Chains A and B, each alone.
Chain A
Amino acid sequence: METKGSIPLRRFGKTDVEISALGSGGHHIGVTKDEKTAVELVHTALDGGVTFYDCCWEYCRGKAEDWLGKGLKGRRDKAFLMTKVCTHGRDGTLATDMLEQSLRRLQTDHIDLWQIHGVGFANDPDLFIRPGGAAEALVKAKKEGKVRFVGFTGHKDPEVHLAMLNTGFPFDAVQMPLNPFDGTFHQFSFEQKVLPVLKQRGIAALGMKPICGRAEPVKKGVFTAQEMLRYAMSLPVTTTITGFSDMDILKQNLEVAQGFTPLSGTEMQALRDRARRYAADGRFEPYKVSLQFDNPEARMAHDFPIDMQQIETRELVAETQNTGWPFPS
């Protein structure tokens, strides 16, 4: 399989598991125009050498997991499957219930990597590690063989990531936003503050938001998507998770990832220098400085205001409407 032109495989932390340097983002699977297209996207990604599949219990009120499960049906062994649990500080028993729902929707008996989703509020680490908290659910699921590895994700504040790591819980993986803006937004730089700690501890580092979530810097002409993806993939990470909800974007990503060789230090610095003047106030990283990327599930668990314009909120409200569709559309 390891021929020139395939996506490089990288070691997952200290384990002997290898995963592709490009990972598929789960949310985009759920917002694909229809189920058939979603399944085709997963098949094309698998054929193109993408082995890492991200998803999440709360994406599209379950539709993302459902469609990813359909895409992976019969090919489950080719994928390193990740999904996330959305306790947002609530009890471990809730996490266990969510795991059962995820397994059913993904049509599998195990998750390769099960992560705490969206750790970002300052008290999340305390709530995670408390007696009865989600940490207990991770241990239990691992012991029962329902998950192989565990980790956490978040896009808000590197200090909160460090506090999670300082709980002492044995995480196998940690996910964070990594892009040229993050690299120069000093106070909030995951690259500067978290990445070195993961390397030192042998924890698998997973990058996300390589094009800042909604590609604003691309739309505003600051970078091309390819430049940003290359930047993220050249960092010392196991994989870079990026979403695609149509075939053109997938192919564009595959072109960058297949036969990928990391940028040089000079090239990386040049990209950071271009980002610097926009990075200092966080304008291209709204997930750090605003609630824009915080789901209603997280906001409600923490008593933050929800936003009726947010698609996730509309899905939440529409979820029990009798439209004839299984998921809110």
Chain B
Amino acid sequence: MKKNFAGSDMNMTPAVNTQPELSRRRFLQAAAVTSVSSVVPTAAVVLETPASHAQEIHPKANASVRALPNPIIPNFQGEYGSSSMPGFQVPKRPMGSTGLQVSILGMGGFHLGAALSQDVVNDMVAKALDHGINFFDNAWEYQGGAGEERLGIALKGKRNQAILVTGVCTYGRKKDVAMRMLEDSLTRLQTDHVDVWQVHDVIYYNDPELAYQVDGVLEALTAAKQQGKVRFVGFTGHKNPSIHLDMLDRGFHFDTVQMPINPFDPSFRSFERSVLPVAVQKSMAVFSIKSMSGSGESIVRGALTPTEALSYAMSVPGVSTTVSGMNSVEVLDQNLEILRDFKPLAEEQMAALREHGRQFNDGRYELYKTTVKYESDLGRAQHGFPSSMELPA
């Protein structure tokens, strides 16, 4: 491991974290600032746009050191906002049996939607594309639609370079709801088709049964494919491999599947051990998520470094891309630095990380399996669960 971003000064785990979903971003931003500064000592951590105000990325930033206004040149090579990154291309892999080639790292939509501004998203998407990152995930429900809207704006004129993925958030509801969601998604994403349309968050034990019901969401997947509005279909989830297997076993032909992959998973309700082989056998494209536990829970506790976390997920055979949430150019840069030096881990390195993960096999770093923390309010409402305000985890 070349870099360890989880240095001692980052040991900032709050005893009581009332905003857990924010902690990872704060950490990663702080980590990125540290790492970027060490690489480019004069780098400013202030973004400025010609049209608007300067926005501080990090409160500790030295505001006196300002970058030149960012001209936001599409696919501009070189400087973006405050930081630089030498040109290199992220490797690609075949995306299952789709015939597409996908970058080994994908950009997560939720955190893109949570970035400071549209300008930041534009910068990030342009920079990602320039480095060969071509996978952009999203979901109908992210930020009430703003997640898709922002990505749509950022991809304007570059749509054909991207593998555009979004999720349909029916949570047991029927085809008509799904088709309306698809129209919303296409409008927000400013496109006439998405490349991959996935049933989002199949995480309740009766979701497979509900998906397969007559006039259910799976019929919408088929119809949308026939209408040419989506090219490939799949589903996502993070709760229990038994739910994923239930979805697969009932027989629908999915092109893609999304699942948590990290060194903790193999010793606790393991997707890698039980779902991945089935998906590979079916020649499906596998998208890995939760490489850093969802909100960096394993990172802030020092159980993994970001480099270890991403390297592990990107090295698991059968994974097409690893979807990582990034909410700023700094976090993208941190990931790009990891990618620049990335070599797939050897089997003994993988085994060592799994062995390290085994000691936490109570699910403490996989809260998406053991708690309701990662269940959205929309999904909870459909399943009669209390909201995240009432029941945080």
Choose, from B61-69, B344-352, B357-365, the stretch at the interface.
Answer: B357-365
Scan residues 184-214 of chain B and give those whose CB is less than 8 A from a CB of chain A.
204-207, 209
- The one of B17, B240, B362, B385 in contact with A305, judged by C-beta atoms closer than 8 angstroms, is B17
Q: How far is the CB of A200 from chain B (nearest CB, A)?
A: 25
Determine chain A's interface SS by DSSP, over half rule: loop
Given the complex, which residues of B lie within 8 Å of A289, measured CB to CB? 372
| B-side contacts of A185, CB under 8 Å | 205
Interface hit among A62-70, A119-127, A144-152: A119-127
A306 interface residue, CB < 8 Å from B?
yes
- Answer whether residue B384 sits at the interface, using C-beta atoms and an 8 A cutoff: yes
Cβ of B392 and Cβ of A309 under 8 Å apart?
yes
Residues of A within 8 A of B361 (CB): 122-123
A302 to B384, CA, bound (A): 28
Cross-chain contact B362 with A286 (CB below 8 angstroms)? no
- Known interface pairs A122-B268, A281-B383; A305-B205 also in contact (CB < 8 Å): no
Contact status A290-B362, CB under 8 Å: no
B205 with A283: CB separation less than 8 A = no
Shortest beta-carbon distance from A221 to chain B in Å: 13
* Residues of chain A with a CB closer than 8 A to B367's CB: 304-305
Whether A319 sits at the interface, judged by CB under 8 Å, is: no
Complex interface bits, B348-391 against A, C-beta within 8 A gives 1, otherwise 0 = 00000000000011111001001111000000000111100001
CB distance B18 to A286 under 8 Å?
A: no
Q: A122-B362, A309-B392 are in contact. Are A290 and B383 (CB under 8 A)?
A: no
Tell yes or no: A162 within 8 A of B by CB: no
**What range describes how many residues of B lie at the interface?**
20 to 34
> Given that A187-B242, A282-B205 are contacting pairs, would A123 and B391 also be in contact in the complex, using a CB cutoff of 8 Å?
no
Q: Is the interface of B mostly helix, strand, loop or mixed?
A: loop
- Given A280-B206, A282-B205, A303 and B364 contact (CB-CB distance below 8 Å): yes
Within 258-313 of A, Cβ neighbours of B (below 8 Å) are at 278, 280-283, 286, 289-292, 302-309
- Does chain A have a CB within 8 A of B1? no
Is residue B78 within 8 Å, beta carbon to beta carbon, of the partner chain? no
Most chain B CB within a 10 A radius of its CB, from A187, A278, A305, A307: A305
Shortest distance in angstroms between A86's beta carbon and chain B's nearest beta carbon? 16
Pairwise interchain contact B363-A121, C-beta atoms closer than 8 A: yes
Chain A residue numbers with a CB within 8 Å of B391 are: 286, 290, 292
Q: Does B16 touch A at the CB level, under 8 Å?
A: yes
Hey, which chain B residues are within 8 Å of A307, CB to CB?
A: 392-393
CA distance A257 to B56 in the complex (A): 65
Contact A306 B363 (CB under 8 A): no
Q: Which residues of A contact B301 (CB under 8 A)?
A: 303
Contacts A290-B393, A307-B392, A307-B393 given: A302-B383 contact, CB under 8 Å? no
- Encoded as 1 (CB less than 8 Å from any A CB) or 0, chain B from 310 to 340 comes to 0000000000000000000000000000000
A302 touches B364 (CB 8 A): yes
Interface residues of B in 87-125 (CB under 8 A from A): none
Cβ–Cβ < 8 Å partners of A286 in chain B: 372, 385-386, 391
In the complex, what distance in Å separates the CA atom of A286 from the CA atom of B20? 20
In the complex, which residues of chain A have a beta carbon less than 8 angstroms from the beta carbon of B242? 187
Nearest-neighbor residue (CB-CB) of A186 within chain B = B205
Which 10 pairs from chain A and chain B are nearest by CB?
Answer: A280-B206, A121-B362, A283-B384, A281-B204, A290-B372, A291-B393, A123-B362, A281-B383, A303-B364, A291-B371
Chain B residues with a Cβ under 8 A of chain A: 16-18, 20, 204-207, 209, 240, 242, 268, 301, 360-364, 367, 370-373, 383-386, 391-393
Taking A122-B362, A290-B391, A304-B367 as known contacts, 13 extra A-B pairs with beta carbons closer than 8 A to each other, sorted by chain A number, are A121-B362, A122-B268, A280-B206, A282-B204, A282-B205, A283-B383, A283-B385, A286-B391, A290-B372, A290-B393, A304-B364, A305-B373, A308-B18
